[in-house]
């Protein structure tokens, strides 16, 4: 972000004046417009219950219309609102018409949300193929595991622990060549960096809202390509699948073709207000600008720390694989002590896989990062 706008940045992101938040890969503090939207919703409920329901539905509709632009798309019909990333991934895993002997390829070291639904298919005779990405060319390993029986490749576009960003276009091209569905868990990507689902030839993308999307927990965006969506059975039908859900006496209950077929019941309206506000903010900033500002921050951390003796980066050095996460080990310093040191300085990070994980966002002031780098350097002395 442009430093000349720093006053307004501090107003937009109140956490800036209080803490150095380097933990967006876990849960993000809410920007001011998000907390305002949530507070207004709370006041509305407290004073008049659901009398404003019509307005709530308009906010929901605005979210449906705005969200596709984060994916390089325009069609609101391709977005379903679900309660979290795991739910979206499970709807895909349970919805496909698997046959005994099919196989599914996924990342062995992925977050469990993106391994367990695929492993659970074993009871249907589907062969789970977990692929270790601990190689110099992870995309090649994933593609090599695809065989004639493979129906779907599931990846997380950015690894939650080491921040490695996969070359999605390369994977999407291989999937399309082999006639395999391509499913992306983008919770560590959406809101951080641009994503164009056509360019990467994705079939399904799911991303929860409480990390890089800067919104409340309990809500996720689930995008599906119409032809891929048509392959999924509606395993959890419900009254709210229809664009006119209050018509309880419809003669035909056939699920709609739109992604709303994955929305059986009442949604988390409070979170919808928050996510509508945060997606508006991100769209207004422009995802290209957000992504490049975030990469400037990842670059600063990476370049300042990679040459420090006794510090080992586990996140990517190659720029094309960087995203918003920088992970490291300090020789002789256990990650708990390192985290405690940072916390003493008002710097909030996380430990994942015995590494210190730093995850700024596009708005994080560079001076805060410089200060964090100083503290980390001192620990390595």
Ligand X SMILES: Cc1ncc(COP(=O)(O)O)c(C=O)c1O
Q: Is 118 in the site for ligand X (CB under 6 A)?
A: no
Q: Which residues contact 178 (CB under 8 A, 6 or more apart)?
A: 146, 150
Cα gap 222→239, rounded to integer Å: 19
Cα gap 91→294, rounded to integer Å: 32
Identify which range of 15-23, 108-116, 129-137, 275-283 contacts ligand X by CB under 6 A: 108-116
Q: Is 185 in the site for ligand X (CB under 6 A)?
A: yes
Cα gap 232→373, rounded to integer Å: 47
Q: Is 187 in the site for ligand X (CB under 6 A)?
A: yes
**Pairing label, strands 181-185, 150-156:** parallel
Q: Is 113 in the site for ligand X (CB under 6 A)?
A: yes
Sole binder of ligand X in the list 107, 220, 300, 349 (CB under 6 A): 220
Give me the least distance between CB of 213 and ligand X, in Å please.
11
Cα gap 139→338, rounded to integer Å: 32
Q: Is 114 in the site for ligand X (CB under 6 A)?
A: yes
Nearest to 191 by CA among 170, 172, 209: 209
Minimum CB distance to ligand X smaller for 188 or for 314: 188
Closest residue to ligand X in the complex (CB)? 208
β partners of residue 351: 356
Identify which range of 106-114, 247-255, 322-330, 331-339 contacts ligand X by CB under 6 A: 106-114
Give me the least distance between CB of 154 and ligand X, in Å please.
11
Sole binder of ligand X in the list 86, 201, 315, 327 (CB under 6 A): 86
Sole binder of ligand X in the list 20, 23, 85, 364 (CB under 6 A): 85
Q: What is the 3-state secondary structure (H, E, C) of 123-150?
A: HHCCEEEEECCCCCCHHHHHHHHCCCCE
Cα gap 119→107, rounded to integer Å: 11
Q: Is 360 in the site for ligand X (CB under 6 A)?
A: no
Identify which range of 31-39, 169-177, 180-188, 277-285 contacts ligand X by CB under 6 A: 180-188
Sole binder of ligand X in the list 23, 28, 84, 314 (CB under 6 A): 84
Cα gap 356→375, rounded to integer Å: 13
List interacting residues with ligand X (CB under 6 A). 84-86, 111, 113-114, 156, 160, 185, 187-188, 208, 220
């Amino acid at each position: 972000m442009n430093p000349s706008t720093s006053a307004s940045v501090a107003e937009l992101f109140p956490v800036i004046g209080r803490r150095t938040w380097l933990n967006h890969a876990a849960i993000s503090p809410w920007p001011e417009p998000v907390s305002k939207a949530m507070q207004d919703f709370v006041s509305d409920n407290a004073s008049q219950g659901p009398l404003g329901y019509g307005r709530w539905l308009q906010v929901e509709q605005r979210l449906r219309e705005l969200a596709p632009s984060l994916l390089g798309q325009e069609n609101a019909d391709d977005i379903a609102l679900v309660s979290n990333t795991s739910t979206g991934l499970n709807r895909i895993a349970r919805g496909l018409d698997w046959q005994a002997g099919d196989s599914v390829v996924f990342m062995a070291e992925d977050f469990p949300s993106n391994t367990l639904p695929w492993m659970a298919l074993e009871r249907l005779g589907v062969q789970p193929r977990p692929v270790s990405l601990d190689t110099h060319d992870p995309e090649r390993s994933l593609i090599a595991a695809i065989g004639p029986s493979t129906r779907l490749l599931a990846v997380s576009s950015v690894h939650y622990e080491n921040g490695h960003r996969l070359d999605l276009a390369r994977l999407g091209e291989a999937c399309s060549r082999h006639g395999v569905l391509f499913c992306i868990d983008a919770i560590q990507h959406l809101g951080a960096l641009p994503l164009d689902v056509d360019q990467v030839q994705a079939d399904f993308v799911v991303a929860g809202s409480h990390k890089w999307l800067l919104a409340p927990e309990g809500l996720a965006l689930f995008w599906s390509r119409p032809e891929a969506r048509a392959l999924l059975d509606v395993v959890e039908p419900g009254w709210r699948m229809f664009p006119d859900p209050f018509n309880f006496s419809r003669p035909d209950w056939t699920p709609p073709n739109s992604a709303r077929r994955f929305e059986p019941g009442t949604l988390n309206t409070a979170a919808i207000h928050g996510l509508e506000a945060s997606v508006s903010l991100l769209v207004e900033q422009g995802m290209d600008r957000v992504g490049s500002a975030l990469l400037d921050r990842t670059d600063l951390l990476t370049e300042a720390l990679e040459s420090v003796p006794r510090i080992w980066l586990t996140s990517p050095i190659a720029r094309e694989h960087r995203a918003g996460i920088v992970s490291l080990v300090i020789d002789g310093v256990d990650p708990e002590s390192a985290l405690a040191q940072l916390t003493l300085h008002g710097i909030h990070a996380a430990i994942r896989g015995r590494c210190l994980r730093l995850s700024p966002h596009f708005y994080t002031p560079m001076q805060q990062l410089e200060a964090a780098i100083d503290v980390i350097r001192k620990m390595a002395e």
